[in-house]
Structures are given as C-alpha cells and as structure tokens.
Amino acid sequence: MKNLILFITILALGCTCAAVADEFTKEDLKKWQAEYMAAVKEGEKLFHSSSLGKNKVSCDMCHPNGSNTHPETYPKFQKQIGKVVGLRDMINWCIQNPLEGDILKADDPRMIALEAYITHERRGTPLAPGKH
Ligand code: HEC
C-alpha cells in the first residue's frame, strides 16, 4: 500500500512536471515547421499527380490549386456518402470515384500529406463545421 501511494505520488509529480516542461526552443519550432511544410509540399505533389488513381485523373483537374475543397466545413453531412464524415472521407471518396483508385488509410502518410496541403491552402479561414 505504501508503495502504491509512493508510486501514485511520483506519477502525479511526473505529470505536473511534464506539463510545465512543455517548452520548446527556436530550433524545435524551425524543425517542426520544416517537417510540416514537407508534408504540405508532398500533398501538393500528390494533388497534382495521377499516382493516387488508376485512370490518369488528378485532383487538380476538378479542384485547381486545391480549390472547392472547403476543409474548414468538416466534419459535415455529405450527400454522396449519406452521413456526417471527415475531410479524409471525402478525399477517399474522390480517390475511389473520379480517380478510380484504392482508398488510403487514415494514417497513410499520403493521406496526412493531402490533408496538410488542402488545409494549408485554406489557412486563416474561420472554422465552419457542418456548413454547406
Ligand atoms: C472529376 C472531378 C473530380 C476529381 C478529379 C476530384 N474531385 Fe474532389 N470532388 C468532386 C466532386 C463532384 C465533389 C463533390 C462536390 C460537393 O460535395 O460539393 C468533390 C468534393 C471534394 C471534397 C469536399 C468538398 C467540399 O466542399 O466539401 C474534397 C476535400 C475533395 N473533393 C478532394 C479531392 C481530392 C483530394 C482529389 C484527388 C484525390 C479529388 N477531390 C479529385 C470532383 C472531383
């Protein structure tokens, strides 16, 4: 029992310290921004390539420069899917339908990159989930 209390105390202290120690240096910020921008660039490349599908169609043919993707409106009801979905579900809908490709898993780096690019293109736009 004594040990358990000690353990919990150490755990609680550890948590408090971790929360306080959540500081980062300029180098950290630079590195993380560079990693983020690399994902955006990768997404931009994918968006303009036909590698996601099987019929040589690319996203930019219907959404030039990431237009008409409205990431700020997700999650929302999408009539094509018939329920409330996230941005990635619509990305997959377009991969499956216009591009005739295979859907990407949520943690596929290509999905993350597409989400990064599409959302980056609309940065600064107020969030409007559910909006049509
Ligand atoms: C042949 C044309 C076409 C292509 C190519 C296409 N899309 Fe779409 N996309 C559509 C249509 C049509 C819709 C549905 C429009 C709506 O819901 O208002 C849509 C909707 C979307 C939406 C949701 C838009 C919104 O306003 O909610 C996203 C995100 C999206 N597409 C991403 C992509 C991505 C990523 C690709 C490439 C993998 C792609 N699209 C390729 C036609 C296309």
In sequence order, what are the residues at sequence separation of 6 or more whose Cβ sits closer than 8 angstroms to the Cβ of residue 89? 78, 81
Pick the CATH number of 31-132 from 3.40.50.620, 1.10.760.10, 3.40.1390.10, 3.30.70.1140: 1.10.760.10
Pocket of ligand 1 (CB under 6 A): 52, 57, 59, 61-63, 68-70, 73, 87, 90-91, 94-95, 98-99, 114, 118
pLDDT at 1 over 70: no
Atom of ligand 1 nearest to the CA of 95: 38
pLDDT at 18 over 60: no
User: pLDDT at position 16, please?
Assistant: 52
How sure is the predictor about 124, in pLDDT bands with cuts at 50, 70 and 90? Answer: very high
Nearest CA to ligand 1 atom 42: 62
Atom of ligand 1 nearest to the CA of 73: 27
Domain chopping of the chain, boundaries? 31-132
pLDDT at 130 over 70: yes
CB 105 within 8 A of CB 93: no
